């Protein structure tokens, strides 16, 4: 179960860094006249989405793992 919890933690870290980049991009775009390069914003957006995906997959797998452990401990009739 530790690697799954690590996967959730990595997903949170991977999501938070691009989220900060997106906030910075929005602030620069709103308050200045300079345009932020599109490729950097696109990469940050996809990294954010993959981080969220990693978090969700980790949660689902943890849930299924706990269900499997619960089924193994059930009495056989």
CA distance 1 to 77: 29
Render pLDDT for 3-62 as a digit per residue (tens, 0 to 9). 777 877 887 887 788 878 778 877 887 888 776 667 777 877 787 888 888 888 888 888
Render pLDDT for 5-14 as a digit per residue (tens, 0 to 9). 787 788 788 7
Residue 28 Rama label (left phi>0; alpha psi -120 to 50; beta):
alpha
What's the pTM value of the predicted model, to 2 decimals?
Answer: 0.62
Name the packing angle between helices 38-72 and 2-31 (round to 10°): 160
């Amino acid at each position: 179960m530790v690697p799954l919890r690590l996967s959730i933690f990595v997903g949170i870290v991977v999501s938070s860094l691009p989220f900060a980049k997106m906030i910075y991009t929005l602030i620069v775009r709103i308050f200045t006249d300079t345009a932020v390069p599109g490729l950097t914003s696109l990469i940050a957006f996809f990294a954010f989405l993959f981080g969220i995906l990693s978090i969700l997959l980790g949660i689902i797998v943890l849930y299924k793992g706990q269900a499997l452990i619960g089924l193994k401990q059930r009495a056989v009739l």
